[in-house]
Chain A
Amino acid sequence: MNLLSFLVPVFALAFAPLLGGVINRTKAFVAGRVGPPVLQAYYDLARLLRKGAVYSRTTSWVFRAGPVVGLAAVLAATALVPFGGFSAPLAFNGDLVLLAYLFGLMRFFTVIAAMDTGSSFEGMGASREVTFALLAEPALFLGLAAIARKTQSLSLSTMFPDAWLSSGIVLALIAAALMVIVLAENSRIPVDDPDTHLELTMIHEVMVLDHSGPDFAFILYGAALKLWVLSALVVGIALPHSGNLWADTSAALAAMFVLAVLVGVVESCMARLRLVRVPRLLAGAGVLAALALLLVFEGF
C-alpha cells in the first residue's frame, strides 16, 4: 500500500463532479448553446449542503439511510479502482467482485429508499433500475473476467497495468462492453435521459425525486463518483501504460475528460431507446464481453 496510491481516491473526490460539467458543456456545444458552467456541479453541491432537508411523514429511517449508505459504498469503491500509474489503496485479490457488489449495495439502498416513500413514481423507477442492472451485471463481470483470465490475476490493481497483454480485438470488445455499462449504470442516453422532466420516462432521476438538501447533495456526489469509477475502468483498459508514473496519471486524467466529451457526444447524437429495447442493448453488451472472454480462452 503505497502512500502515493491515496492520490487515487483524492483525484476521484476532487474531479468527479467535473465530469458531469464537461458532459453538459459538450451537449450544449453540440446543440449550439452556451450551456451551464463546467463547475456548476460544485456550486450545486455547495448550495444543497447549506439547505435543510425536508422529510415526508410517510418515510422511515430507510429513506434517511439511503443516500448516506450509497455515498459510503461508492467512496469505498473509489479506493478499489486503480488510476493512472497508481494502484488502488485498498487493492486485494478479488476486489473486482467487491467493486461490483459495492455498486449493488448502493443501488439496493437507493431502491429501498425510493420504495420507502410509497409513491408509485419511485416504485416504477426502482423496478426499471433493478431490471436493467440485472442485465448489465453479466456484461461487467464477463468483461472483467476476460482481463482477469488474460493477466492471470484477480485484483484490479494488477489486472489493469497488464491488460495490454491481450490482443487489440479483445480490448476493443471489452472497452465497448464497458462503455455500454458506463452509459447504463449512470443513467445516460441511450438508457435513460438525465435531462427529462417527465417522470414516466425517468429511471434513476425518479427514484431520488423526494430527497432534498444534504441528502440530495450526497446523491448527486455519489452519482458523480460512480461515473468517475466506471469511467476509470474504461480508461484503464483503453490507455496504454508507459511505466512513468506521472505521465500515466496525467494521460489518464486527460482520458477521463475525453471520455466525458465522448459521452456528451453520444448523448447528443442519439435518442433514448424505448424501454423494451434496453434489454437487447444490454444483452448485446453482454455478448461482446462474452465474445472477448471466449477469445481469451482461445489464446488471443
Chain B
Amino acid sequence: MNPLTDMLLVFLILTTFKLLASGRLRACVRAVAAQGVALGLLTLAMHQGALSLHIVTLACGSMALKGLVFPWVLSRALREAKVQREVEPYVSYTLSILSGLVALSVSLWIGSRLHLPPESFSKLVFPSALFTVLAGLFVIVARRTAVMQVLGFLVLENGIYTFGVGRVGDMPFLVELGVLLDLFVAVFVMGITIYHINREFDHIDTDRLDSLKG
C-alpha cells in the first residue's frame, strides 16, 4: 500500500466533502480543480512499472485540463452570470455533509464486501471512487445552480476515473485521450449553455426552468 496513493485518495474524499459542504461557487470550482490535479498525480502514483511517455502525457494532460481549463470555463460562466453563491439548495449543507458521511460509510462497507481484484493498490480505491460517484450524483440532484450541476457531473466523472485507474491497468492511449476530449467538450458545451441560459433567463437557477412539463 503506497502512502502517497492513500494520501491522494483521502484528499479526494476531502475535496468531495468540501463540494458537498460549501455554497460558495468559486470555492467549489477550486475544490474540484484541486481534485482533478490530485487525480492526475494519482495516475502517476498508481502506475506500476516504469513511467512511460504515454502515462506521463496523459497525467499531465488531464491535470492541465481539470486543474486549469475547466475552472477557467466555469469561472467565466460565473462571472458572466454574476453569481457568487448557491441559491437555497434543496438539501441544506449540514444535511449534505451528513449524507456524504453516510455515503462514505456505505461505500466502505460495500468495498469490504466486494472482493475485487487486484488488491495491490490501496484498499481505499474502490470506496473513495464509489463515494465520489455518489456525491457527484447527490450534488447534481440537490443543487439548483447550473454551475453546481456541472461540478457534480465533473465529480461523478472523477469518481469513475478513480475507479478506472484502480481497476484497469492500461486502457489504450487513444481511448483515454478520447475520454479526456469528450470531457473537455462536455464542459465547454455546458459552459456555453450556462452563458446562454443566463442571457436568456437572467438567472442560472435550474429550479426555475420548469416550463416544459408533462
Q: For B186, what are the chain A residues with a Cβ–Cβ distance below 8 Å?
A: none
- Say whether, besides A280-B93, A283-B94, A300 and B101 are in contact (CB < 8 Å): no
Q: For A290, what are the chain B residues with a Cβ–Cβ distance below 8 Å?
A: 101
> How many A-B contacts at CB < 8 Å in the complex?
45
A298 part of interface (Cβ distance < 8 Å): yes
- Contact of B10 with A287 in the complex, beta carbons under 8 Å: no
CA distance A173 to B10 in the complex (A): 10
Partner of A167, one of B6, B100, B112: B6
- Say whether, besides A279-B94, A283-B98, A284-B21, A291 and B123 are in contact (CB < 8 Å): no
B183 part of interface (Cβ distance < 8 Å): no
A54 part of interface (Cβ distance < 8 Å): no
Number of interface residues of A (CB under 8 A): 17
A243 part of interface (Cβ distance < 8 Å): no
- Contact of A283 with B97 in the complex, beta carbons under 8 Å: yes
- Smallest Cβ distance from B99 to chain A, in angstroms? 11
- Contact of A287 with B105 in the complex, beta carbons under 8 Å: no
CA distance A298 to B110 in the complex (A): 12
- Contact of A287 with B101 in the complex, beta carbons under 8 Å: yes
- Contact of B104 with A284 in the complex, beta carbons under 8 Å: no
- Smallest Cβ distance from A19 to chain B, in angstroms? 29
A 257-283 contacts with B by CB, 8 A: 279-280, 283
The listed residue with most A CB atoms (<10 A of its CB), out of B6, B10, B17, is B10
- Contact of A287 with B97 in the complex, beta carbons under 8 Å: yes
- Say whether, besides A283-B94, A284-B17, A298-B108, A169 and B6 are in contact (CB < 8 Å): yes
A39 part of interface (Cβ distance < 8 Å): no
- Contact of A298 with B98 in the complex, beta carbons under 8 Å: no
* Residue on A nearest B105 in the bound complex, by CB: A294
Partner of A284, one of B6, B97, B105, B127: B97
CA distance A300 to B100 in the complex (A): 21
A299 part of interface (Cβ distance < 8 Å): yes
A28 part of interface (Cβ distance < 8 Å): no
- Smallest Cβ distance from B139 to chain A, in angstroms? 16
Number of interface residues of B (CB under 8 A): 21
CA distance A173 to B98 in the complex (A): 17
CA distance A294 to B131 in the complex (A): 13
What string of 1s and 0s marks CB contacts (under 8 Å) between B130-146 and chain A? 00000000000000000
- Contact of B100 with A287 in the complex, beta carbons under 8 Å: yes
Q: For B7, what are the chain A residues with a Cβ–Cβ distance below 8 Å?
A: 168-169
The listed residue with most A CB atoms (<10 A of its CB), out of B3, B13, B94, B104, is B94
* Residue on B nearest A290 in the bound complex, by CB: B101
Q: For A253, what are the chain B residues with a Cβ–Cβ distance below 8 Å?
A: none
The listed residue with most B CB atoms (<10 A of its CB), out of A167, A173, A280, is A280
A45 part of interface (Cβ distance < 8 Å): no
A133 part of interface (Cβ distance < 8 Å): no
B197 part of interface (Cβ distance < 8 Å): no
Partner of B10, one of A279, A280, A284, A295: A295
B59 part of interface (Cβ distance < 8 Å): no
* Residue on B nearest A297 in the bound complex, by CB: B108
CA distance A279 to B112 in the complex (A): 32
- Contact of B97 with A169 in the complex, beta carbons under 8 Å: no
CA distance A300 to B123 in the complex (A): 10
- Contact of B123 with A298 in the complex, beta carbons under 8 Å: yes
Q: For B94, what are the chain A residues with a Cβ–Cβ distance below 8 Å?
A: 279-280, 283
- Contact of B104 with A291 in the complex, beta carbons under 8 Å: yes
- Contact of A294 with B10 in the complex, beta carbons under 8 Å: no
CA distance A294 to B124 in the complex (A): 11
- Smallest Cβ distance from A222 to chain B, in angstroms? 30
- Contact of A294 with B97 in the complex, beta carbons under 8 Å: no
- Contact of B101 with A169 in the complex, beta carbons under 8 Å: no
CA distance A241 to B56 in the complex (A): 40
- Contact of A299 with B6 in the complex, beta carbons under 8 Å: no
- Smallest Cβ distance from A221 to chain B, in angstroms? 35
Partner of B108, one of A168, A169, A283, A294: A294
26 A-B residue pairs with Cβ-Cβ distance under 8 Å, sorted by A, are A167-B3, A167-B6, A169-B6, A169-B10, A279-B94, A280-B21, A280-B93, A280-B97, A283-B21, A284-B21, A284-B97, A287-B97, A287-B98, A287-B100, A287-B101, A291-B17, A294-B104, A294-B105, A294-B108, A295-B124, A297-B108, A298-B108, A298-B112, A298-B123, A298-B124, A299-B123
Q: Which residues of A line the B interface, CB within 8 A?
A: 167-169, 173, 279-280, 283-284, 287, 290-291, 294-295, 297-300
The 4 A-B residue pairs whose C-beta atoms are closest, nearest first, are A283-B94, A283-B97, A169-B10, A280-B93
Additional A-B contacts beyond A168-B7, A280-B93 (20; CB < 8 A): A167-B3, A167-B6, A168-B3, A169-B6, A173-B10, A280-B97, A283-B21, A283-B97, A283-B98, A284-B17, A287-B17, A287-B97, A291-B14, A294-B105, A295-B10, A295-B124, A298-B108, A298-B112, A298-B124, A299-B123
